[in-house]
Chains A and B, each alone.
Chain A
Amino acid sequence: MCLAVPVQVVAVEGDEAEVDAGGVRRRVSITLTPEVKVGQYVLLHTGYAINIIDEAEAKETLKLLEDMLRLDEASR
């Protein structure tokens, strides 16, 4: 179950946050991710932030992918 979209937290107020995605804003619940900070990204699903996005891992995934492809290229 699947439609969860990365959105950025721009303000936090108690168990709610104001989030932004491409300029679109909404007030959502951070009951499931109360530790989130302004500036961080969360996965938004049906009005609830279900997880905080790990930006380091996001970069790492792309880097690993690029490295793997480069190594692949070199070994051919």
Chain B
Amino acid sequence: MGKTIVLSHGSGGKMSHDLVAKGIVPFISNGLLDRLDDSAVFELTGRLAFTTDSYVVSPIFFPGGDIGRLAVCGTVNDLAVVGAVPKHLSLALIIEEGLSLDDLKKVMRSVREAADEAGVLVVTGDTKVVNHGGADKLFVTTSGIGVIPDGVDISGSNARPGDKVILSGTIGDHGITIISQREGLRFDVPVISDCAPLNRLVAAMLKASPHIHAMRDPTRGGLATTLNEIASQSNVGIRLVEETIPVREAVRAACELLGFDPLYVANEGKLVAIVRAEEADQVLTAMKNDRYGKDAAIIGDVISDHPGKVTMTTRLGTTRIVDMLTGELLPRIC
């Protein structure tokens, strides 16, 4: 086949088969996928978790990863933070005509690497090709299934006053990396996306404390939005301590320059956990021993004051409200 993907590759006929056979399956091949039936058929027992997400990131290649890695990690992480062991993923691609075959192969290789790292299989998929302008180079949707071990009950509504809030590492890395690639905002930032699968980190955390109350990965909207969601769901207050929140110096600097608050910048390889106070230290230790939790820190408490709201004690000892992100994060000069 040629070097570029064209509309005919999405028509379902011979060219479609060609694309799948040469540009997709070889890179993510496994026993279940290779059967190429209309559905993947397998057995799973236990309490199941099921999630889906679409990925429309632009540019599709960025320092630290690409849309393929993102699509696998994002869905793996959504399963991991409810305590599920991720097993199988589906992979649906919407390709804008004109995408180079090489680029598609690069993305598929990333999907494979990320899936291997997480220990999951891509078992089924779909491919469509759309007109110019119908998709921004490549859109990806992944759904994922995982199994939740007995005794694990993690939910955004389980946070209780007295719990500790633990963050797995530095915030803002992914968002700043992406924004710095955009036309008109080009800054040379020595930061790469933190895009990573966190299921092994979560497994280590659950081993240290099977009673973790809540966990979430703070993607779009940042840490602030995620914590507001938990506060709302659990009807509790959350109080953060400004100086305990880990932020890389370069991310801080980029945020200063563009007028962003790191609390609202997206992350793709971080999680926040709400943990019983007496188990916080052992969970923290387990996190710090994992490659994706080295900078983990306790950043606040769950309290009974101001239920549904998140506040932060500033360096000066004053209190400010940390609201959800409203609308787009726009750079400002003012």
| Interface of chain A residues 37 through 75 with chain B (CB within 8 A) | 44-46
For B26, the chain A residues whose CB sits under 8 A away are none
* A21 with B257, Cβ < 8 A, contacts A26-B187, A26-B188 known: yes
CB distance from A53 to the nearest CB of B (A): 15
**A23 contacts B333, CB within 8 Å?**
no
Q: Mark A1-42, 1 if CB is under 8 A from B, else 0.
A: 111010100000000000001111110000000000000000
**A3 contacts B249, CB within 8 Å?**
no
* A2 with B334, Cβ < 8 A, contacts A22-B250, A23-B253, A24-B253 known: yes
* A45 with B250, Cβ < 8 A, contacts A5-B257, A21-B256 known: no
**B259 contacts A3, CB within 8 Å?**
yes
Q: Mark B79-122, 1 if CB is under 8 A from A, else 0.
A: 00000000000000000000000000000000000000000000
| Interface of chain B residues 169 through 203 with chain A (CB within 8 A) | 186-190
| Interface of chain B residues 236 through 260 with chain A (CB within 8 A) | 249-250, 252-254, 256-257, 259
**B187 contacts A25, CB within 8 Å?**
yes
CB distance from A47 to the nearest CB of B (A): 10
**B188 contacts A24, CB within 8 Å?**
yes
**Interchain CA distance A22-B333 in the complex, whole Å:** 19
CB distance from A57 to the nearest CB of B (A): 21
Nearest A residue to B332 by beta-carbon distance? A3
**A24 contacts B190, CB within 8 Å?**
yes
**Interchain CA distance A24-B186 in the complex, whole Å:** 11
**A22 contacts B334, CB within 8 Å?**
no
Of the residues B254, B259, B332, B334, contact of A24 by C-beta under 8 Å? B254
Number of A-B residue pairs having CB atoms within 8 Å of each other in the complex: 43
CB distance from B184 to the nearest CB of A (A): 10
Q: Mark B10-40, 1 if CB is under 8 A from A, else 0.
A: 0000000000000000000000000000000
**B334 contacts A21, CB within 8 Å?**
no
CB distance from B81 to the nearest CB of A (A): 31
**B249 contacts A22, CB within 8 Å?**
yes
For B333, the chain A residues whose CB sits under 8 A away are 1, 3, 45-46
Nearest A residue to B253 by beta-carbon distance? A22
**B259 contacts A21, CB within 8 Å?**
no
CB distance from B63 to the nearest CB of A (A): 13
CB distance from B190 to the nearest CB of A (A): 5
For B257, the chain A residues whose CB sits under 8 A away are 5, 7, 21, 24, 26, 44
For B254, the chain A residues whose CB sits under 8 A away are 22, 24
For B186, the chain A residues whose CB sits under 8 A away are 26
Nearest A residue to B186 by beta-carbon distance? A26
**Interchain CA distance A70-B333 in the complex, whole Å:** 37
For A23, the chain B residues whose CB sits under 8 A away are 189-190, 249-250, 253
For A2, the chain B residues whose CB sits under 8 A away are 334
Q: A22-B249, A26-B187 are in contact. List 16 more A-B contacts (CB 8 A).
A: A1-B333, A3-B333, A5-B257, A7-B257, A21-B256, A22-B252, A22-B254, A23-B189, A23-B250, A23-B253, A24-B188, A24-B250, A25-B189, A26-B186, A26-B257, A45-B333
Top 6 A-B pairs ranked by shortest CB distance? A22-B253, A25-B188, A23-B250, A21-B253, A22-B249, A24-B253
Q: B interface vs A, CB < 8 Å?
A: 186-190, 249-250, 252-254, 256-257, 259, 332-334
8 A–B pairs (Cβ distance < 8 Å), ordered by A: A22-B256, A23-B189, A24-B189, A24-B250, A25-B187, A25-B188, A26-B188, A26-B257
